[in-house]
Amino acid sequence: VQGPSSQARADSTVLLHCTHSNLKNTSFFELRLDRHMTILSVKEKLKSHTGTAVGAMLLQLKDLNGTVVATLADDNTVLGFYSPQDGFTLHIVDMDPNSSSADGWLEDVSKVKKYEISEEDYNQRENTYRKFKEQKLREDPTWTLQKEIAKRSGKEVKESIADPEHQAEVAQGIAVGNRCEVYPGSKRGEVMYVGKVEGLPLGYWVGVKYDEPIGKNDGTIKGKSYF
């Protein structure tokens, strides 16, 4: 059974979780810290994760049950002095009342003022998607974004079928009971249905019962049985 983080690490390394007094929905798991680091060095590393100034940090060490076992108040003391163990938690108390993370400013997006623009101002802008779309539709009334993406990626664009009689002539040459071979896969079977299928693209469809027990359908499409 492997413990926290099975990666090779030095004997002096300890894996600690980190929580923050102002970040109620954010925590950092298994931060790699060295027991020889001073508390000041630990704070400097935690600053890059939380943004709290080193001078505004009060660190508390919590055990596996969440009980505070030590307050890391001396910046010159090494972390190992407090006997941290893998899975313990470093809790940061942000002492700065003007901290950028205070009152949920780093987590509650409702506090952030959204940029808004009027329709009139937006229409006056150049190089917007709206103007790009309008230009494309003037050039090709059937243009869609999917077509544009396929064109730019060099892929073939499959046109949607608008004719309800699509492949009617081909269907006239096929009868229920005919033997057939389906490609790809060279699967053989018997024609069980020829006609239109509600819920599938327009046109005529052929339903085949394979000789072998393969295939993913049973002659039923969207609750309606065709064979």
Mean pLDDT value of segment 122-141 = 90
pTM: 0.46
Long-range contacts (CB closer than 8 Å, 24 or more residues apart) made by 40-45: 40/75, 40/76, 42/72, 42/79, 42/90, 43/75
Of 50 and 105, more confident:
50
As beta bridge partners, residue 195 has: 205
The number of CA neighbours under 13 Å toward the Cβ of 157 is 15
Q: Which range among 38-47, 122-131, 139-148, 166-175 shows the weakest confidence by mean pLDDT?
A: 139-148
Question: Which residues, at least 6 apart from 148, have a Cβ–Cβ distance to it below 8 Å?
Answer: 136
Q: Which range among 23-32, 152-161, 166-175, 198-207 shows the weakest confidence by mean pLDDT?
A: 152-161
Question: Which residues, at least 6 apart from 86, have a Cβ–Cβ distance to it below 8 Å?
Answer: 3, 4, 14, 15, 16
Q: What tens digit of pLDDT does each residue of 15-70 get? A: 999 999 888 777 888 899 999 999 999 999 999 888 889 999 999 999 999 999 99
Q: Which range among 69-83, 90-104, 133-147 shows the weakest confidence by mean pLDDT?
A: 90-104
